[in-house]
Structure 1
Amino acid sequence: MEVEKMILNYTSQQNELRKRISLQNNFSEDQIKLVAGVDIAYWGENNKEYGVCCIQVFDFCSKKLVEQVDYMDEITTPYISGFLAFRELPLILEAVKKLKTNPNLYMFDGNGYLHKRNMGIATHASFYLEKPTIGVAKTYYKIENTDFIMPENRTGAFTDIVIEGEVYGRALRSRRDVKPIFVSCGNEIDLDTATKITMHFIEKDSRLPIPTRYADLATHQARKLHQDDV
């Protein structure tokens, strides 16, 4: 019953935020100087669950790392499919407080608008960060039993993921001969710009954009370090 109440509460909150989503740029591209990648890793210890959020900030032009922070804490919110943001937001917001730089845009290892209520972590977090956001997921989770169409095997090829007549995101072939990644708007950005920025950060040795790729790698390192602290 407690979980059912949480689902009703979480659904209500997401539906209210959903009304405020903007799929248009609230910036000009020359304003993007710093881009942050965000990811979270979890582990269990002594019958408790912990999580660590890593944020890696990159210079947009040089693609060089300029700052990295992490924040670890115990996780007390249970995992409920479709409501991941309620578990992850507390860690993310505490990690953001540790930043000395001020990123212009955040990229998340996860979905944004590509979510059954259009409220993946990238979109949900945007209302607290008050910055444009992009979701970049490594795997696709079906929405309304809709699968994606595989894009052509060439760099930059994509197919739109259309659900009930609306574009929710894109399957993007970031490099030849690799599996596609799944790009969606978070908030305050359009899908073409989200795709363009994602491709800007693709390098030859990975199908993932630099900010989320390095945030993902950082979570593995941070998890090992923090496991010794609990």
Structure 2
Amino acid sequence: MEIKEIHNFNVYEESDFIKIQNELKKKIMLKNTFNKSSIRLVAGVDLAYWEYKNKQYGTCSIVVIDYNTKEVVEKVNSVGEIKVPYIPGFLAFRELPLVIEASKKLVVEPDIFMFDGNGYLHFNHMGIATHASFFLDKPTIGVAKSYLKVNGVDFKMPEGKESSYTDIIINGEVYGRVLRTRKDVKPIFISCGNNVDLETCTEIVLKLINRESRLPIPTRLADLETHISRRKLR
């Protein structure tokens, strides 16, 4: 799969991170740039970490499934040293090099990428799912297992029934959605990455839920693959 070179990753200062985010967020599109009926392949993306000899390493797994049959079409991995420390709000600068490396190995071309992380639900609207979209040149969705509090705003818990949700509204703007994917299980936190609207994000996520998890199949399988890869590499 061809990847766009939007910027390099030889930056390590927060001021540089913010400058790049501010430039990219001007280009975010919270509208569908595709026909929903044309969706065929959806990719799930996740990473796992470990330490060895005082250095931190990571592995990225991408699992592509058929949107209709839910069957796995392709799996790829990348591995490398992590050189950017964890700084809240700047996860993309830490993870994207491995995401890009793994994406380049894909033979198939996914229609949508789904990330274990946030997109528009971010203090600067530039979570990993949104940031990655500019390199991948594909619509992206953020699916987080836990809530990233922005500007001190808490979320409102949705009803306990399947498919119920509440929107996360901060300063009058919808940042994301708290979605109950299965009855009486913990909700997940979804947000647009780029080139997709929130209603479509919700529809896609719910279609990719099965009885094995509250998480959509692509990111759940990617999570499992990262743990398999990490065990082998460690």
TM-score (norm 2): 0.94
Q: Does 1:72 align with 2:93?
A: no
Post-superposition offset of 1:81: 1.2
Equivalent of 1:188 in 184, 195, 198: 195
Q: Secondary structure at the match of 2:13?
A: helix
Task: Among all aligned residue pairs of Structure 1 and Structure 2, give the percentage whose two residues are the same amino acid.
Answer: 58
Q: Matched residues in 2 for 1:85 and 1:126: separation?
A: 11
Q: Secondary structure at the match of 1:90?
A: helix
Post-superposition offset of 1:84: 0.4
Post-superposition offset of 1:98: 0.8
Q: Matched residues in 1 for 2:227 and 2:63: separation?
A: 13
Alignment RMSD (CA, Å): 1.0
Q: Matched residues in 1 for 2:178 and 2:233: separation?
A: 35
Any stretches of 5+ residues in structure 2 without a counterpart?
1-11
The equivalent residue for 2:163 is: 156
Q: Matched residues in 1 for 2:170 and 2:220: separation?
A: 28
Number of paired residues? 224
Equivalent AA in structure 2 for residue 210 of structure 1: I
The equivalent residue for 1:209 is: 216
Q: Matched residues in 1 for 2:81 and 2:233: separation?
A: 11
Q: Secondary structure at the match of 2:211?
A: coil
Q: Does 1:115 align with 2:122?
A: yes
The equivalent residue for 1:218 is: 225
Equivalent AA in structure 1 for residue 196 of structure 2: I
Q: Does 1:35 align with 2:42?
A: yes
Q: Matched residues in 2 for 1:68 and 1:132: separation?
A: 19
Q: Matched residues in 2 for 1:122 and 1:96: separation?
A: 14
Equivalent of 1:93 in 86, 100, 109: 100
Q: Post-superposition, which runs of at least 4 consecutive aligned residues in structure 1 deviate over 3 A?
A: none
Partner deviation per Cα, 1:175-223 (whole Å, 9 max, x = no partner): 0010000010000000000000000000012100000011011111110
The equivalent residue for 2:60 is: 53
Equivalent AA in structure 2 for residue 212 of structure 1: T
Q: Does 1:143 align with 2:150?
A: yes
Any stretches of 5+ residues in structure 1 without a counterpart?
none
The equivalent residue for 2:131 is: 124
Post-superposition offset of 1:76: 1.1
TM-score (norm 1): 0.96
Equivalent of 2:27 in 7, 20, 33: 20
Equivalent of 2:113 in 106, 109, 121: 106
Q: Secondary structure at the match of 2:148?
A: coil
Post-superposition offset of 1:104: 0.6
Post-superposition offset of 1:39: 0.1
Post-superposition offset of 1:77: 1.4
Q: Matched residues in 2 for 1:144 and 1:75: separation?
A: 28
